[in-house]
Structure 1
């Protein structure tokens, strides 16, 4: 009986670790793509998990919402932090570099 419980606990720990690793890889991919699209330097080539909490998904099931931080630079000198939140593998929040755009100026008459 004790061996079965140990195996169940081991399987649960492995499933949690595997899901956390997959979320970190997805966050890394999203952070890298955002920096590339905004034409900024992605620093440290990694993301850092900063938080995790239980949240309901769109289907009503409980799941983990994980928050990650990454660093980027516009000029290679100043360092800025970006943040993204994943619920499962879905991106639900992003704060970070944006692609520079030019807004045309309109004269008021």
Structure 2
């Protein structure tokens, strides 16, 4: 019986790893698109997982919500911060913090 539990744990870990890679790739792509839309540069492929938690999708199913943080620049020397929110494998939104303190939301409908 313990071998079955071990195999189940290994399979769960493999699924989580694969799911995380896909989610991060979606966040990188969304961050790059969002930066391009405002004429900014995504810095150093800085997209990194900041937070992971369970959340309900619109369908009511539980999914993993991952919040990725990244840095971008508008003029080449400052480092501004942004976030990409991914629920399951669906991009929810990208937020780009501007130096003036404003936030630009780019919703998933335009980039999924």
Q: Which interval holds the TM-score relative to the shorter structure?
A: 0.7 to 0.9
Counterpart-to-counterpart distance in 2, 1:96 and 1:32? 11
TM-score, length basis structure 1: 0.83
2:71 corresponds in structure 1 to 71
Cα deviation, residue 46, structure 1: 3.3
Deviations 1:6-62 (CA, angstroms, capped at 9, x unpaired): 111100111111111110010001001111121111101230100011011111111
Structure 2 residue aligned with 1:12: 12
Give the alignment's Cα RMSD to 1 decimal.
Answer: 1.4
Q: What's the secondary structure of 2:76's corresponding residue?
A: coil
CA distance in structure 1 between the partners assigned to 2:86 and 2:38 by the alignment: 20
The gaps in structure 1 that reach 5 residues or longer are: 99-109
Mapping of residues 10-49 of structure 1, within 5 Å: 10-49=10-49
Structure 2 length as normaliser, TM-score?
0.81
Say whether the 8 Å CA contact 2:31–2:94 is kept in structure 1: no
Give, in whole Å, the separation in 2 of the partners of 1:85 and 1:46: 15
Report how many aligned residue pairs link the two structures: 98
